[in-house]
Amino acid sequence: MCAIAGEIRPNGGITGDRAHEVQAVLKRRGPDQNGIYLSDRAVLIHTRLCVVDIENGRQPMSCMYDGKRYVIVYNGELYNTTEIRSELIERGCEFRGHSDTEVVLNAFAVYGSECVCRFNGIFAFAIWDEKAGRLFIARDRIGVKPFFYTVSDGSFIFASEIKGILAATGKQPEIDAQGVMEIMLTGPGRTPGYGVFRGIDELKPAHCGFYDESGLRLHEYWKLEDREHTENFGQTVEHVRFLVTDAIRRQLISDVPIGTFLSGGLDSSIISSVASREMEERGEKLKTFTVSYKNNDRYFKTSKFQPNSDSDFIGQMVEYLGCESHIVEIDTPELVSALFNAVEARDLPGMADVDSSLLLFCREIKKQVTVALSGECADEIFGGYPWYRDPTVRGVKGFPWAQSTAYRAEFIRREFTTEIDPNEYIQEKYKETVRQTSKLNNLSPLESRMKEMVNLNHHWFMQTLLDRKDRMSMYNGLEVRVPFCDWRIAEYLYSVPWEFKDYRSYEKGLLREAMKDYLPDKILWRKKSPYPKTHNPSYLAAVTRLLDEMIWDSSAPIWQIVRRDKAAGLINAPNISQPWYGQLMTTPQTIAYLLQVNYWLKKYRIRIV
């Protein structure tokens, strides 16, 4: 994985005087190699984390085809490299090495913009056509790899992270009323394609396009579409089994050490089990990594969303796999401190300690491996979340993980809620996403609603988790792959009937049945449990102390957008009060989120306009 950035000015005048500064702020994503391509009309910037073909995969990379020179900066991993390379060789292409970057570059030279339809992988890249004076940009179907951009003053500037664009422009960052609403109403999520900072956008997943003297032209090359499902349940089980195992095996390709996340839950255990068998055939032992919190066993309490502790199951899975297990224990002081590093990693306030714990976890994993596989997005695709299964929740017209708009709006200063009505802001985004849901005619009310739920999760909640996983891992120079985000799985499962997914009235029942030969029964039928977080009361005490300090600081920038009296009310609020963002963010995380907002405004010197 890597960082990419660049600037295109069709009328010329590129100097590249900020290129090294941009490269420096993105260095954590690519600590191993770096490079710059510079011409009068384009500068392309790259920092590389070496994973495949260390010597021949250097970037920016160029190739000649049909008398034209193309130059690429690429961030990602292609999982069908071998197949595409074989096709390109038949078309007369020659390769210097075995990197996927070279395959992507030559595929564009041969197939043009249609190349993205052939790719199975996670990616964001830009290719400069020197002769045409035109830049092609693209992002993977699911949106695993990021791509931000701004168009201003006759230039197109892009980067893997917002900090790269800020460094390239040198301008003081700004947010307006809409940005405030994003932070306070949708945060830590974001409206698809919106960068929160004024003038900065994100290339949406499954989008590509060109920028030249005529401007920016984008189009969507893939989306979830409902189709008639003709396979019976048994055939569906076999199909799912193939797709999941094939995705995991393809993503084990690496020239550097590789491991897996292991929580003892269904998704990470499936990935670890398939990976363990595959690596055993190579004569290698799988390394697994587990996050834990100091004294969590002492303070853990069961709840509707977290019925049992992961520690009860991790040992069983480690014994079953015979793997090399690594447990990373995190204590409260470092968890609180890392809240602010997590903001710098994301360039935005995030999921509070859910972010900071992952950042610390990835830091320790990187000491052992450079690549790790993780179980994100199985719940979105297979219907594992509580809001899929609870009729009272899924029946509400709104984002099921954030039915807290009225509560959130209470924190916003009135001058912003007067300009933009909070409920209308959220409801319109919800309705627009529902309107875009692909559905066959004559579906039952339940089946119709489930299609809407998948689409809502795909475009919103899943993107928040993918943002988190990319930024927290790449901040540590760790590449994390997400096999359940294979677009073939998402596309196929979208049309599978809910009664199949709900096999035995169990969350992700279809996935469990498909992968039953890979897991012991206690893991296979374990009730879903979310990403582990600390239950230590010292965490709530620590963030509350920081909140109290912030409340007494009248110069704190957060008071430009947040009501101080409402923030103060959190000090004595019970831990089980209104969730901010689903079960992952209750009172401790809401407090921590406000701390992150204040740090973000101050650190990035954001002007509110």
Instruction: Write out the catalytic residue numbers.
Output: 2
Exposed / middle / buried, residue 334 (Cβ in 10 Å: 0-12, 13-18, 19+): middle
Q: State the Cα–Cα distance between residues 286 and 407, nearest whole angstrom.
A: 45
Q: How many CB atoms lie within 10 A of CB 301?
A: 8
Under DSSP, is residue 224 helix (H, G, I), strand (E, B) or coil? coil
Calculate helix-pair angle for 332-346, 537-552, nearest 10 degrees: 60
Calculate helix-pair angle for 445-456, 422-435, nearest 10 degrees: 110
Q: State the Cα–Cα distance between residues 208 and 450, nearest whole angstrom.
A: 28
The three state secondary structure string of 32-71 is CEEEEEECCCEEEEEEECCCCCCCCCCCCEEEEECCEEEE
DSSP assignment of 124-193, as one string?
Answer: EEEEEETTTTEEEEEE-SS--S--EEEEETTEEEEESSHHHHHHHH-PPPEE-HHHHHIIIIITTS--TT
Under DSSP, is residue 608 helix (H, G, I), strand (E, B) or coil? strand
Tell me how long the chain is. Answer: 609
Q: Do 589 and 351 contact (CB within 8 A), yes or no?
A: yes
Pick from 466, 540, 406: nearest CA to 146: 466
Q: How many CB atoms lie within 10 A of CB 7?
A: 25
Distances (CA, A) of 197 to 406, 420, 493: 24, 17, 35
Q: State the Cα–Cα distance between residues 451 and 501, nearest whole angstrom.
A: 12
